[in-house]
Amino acid sequence: MLEVNSLALESVRLDFSASDCNITLRETTGKYHEHHLVCGILAWQQGALTLFGDYSRLVASGAWIQDDTFEITLRFYETSAVYIIRFYFVENNLTVTITAEYVLNGGAYHLTGVAPATK
């Protein structure tokens, strides 16, 4: 479970395979709403996401940049928007940072929570 945050995300789940990572983001606003995204491991995977506003098509790629840090790059190719999402796994704690790059009024989000984190 994540702490209360400006994106109204309640939880995040990462399911890893050798070639990709399936991500499930669950919102708390109104009726629970889940966002699903597949990102390639060291490869681009096409997808779509509504989390940052309107429905947008994107490509997503992720990599372990440290033993405890998984980083995903989301490139919304119909706009110039790029988001960098970092997942920091420390014991049973998960910290998520989302940085908006090349976005009008870009910014950053910091989400924290406790999860049964396993790689």
Delimit the domains of the chain by residue range: 9-114
Instruction: Determine whether domain 9-114 maps to CATH 2.40.128.20.
Output: yes
Alpha helix (H) residue ranges in 1-119: none
pTM value?
A: 0.80
Residue 21 above 90 pLDDT?
A: yes
Cα–Cα distances in angstroms (integers) from residue 4 to residues 10, 12, 33, 64, 119, in the given order:
7, 13, 16, 26, 24
The stretch 75-82 carries a mean pLDDT of: 84
| Percent of the chain's residues with pLDDT above 70 | 77
pLDDT at 119: 47
Of 10-14, 45-49, 89-93, 100-104, the least confident: 100-104
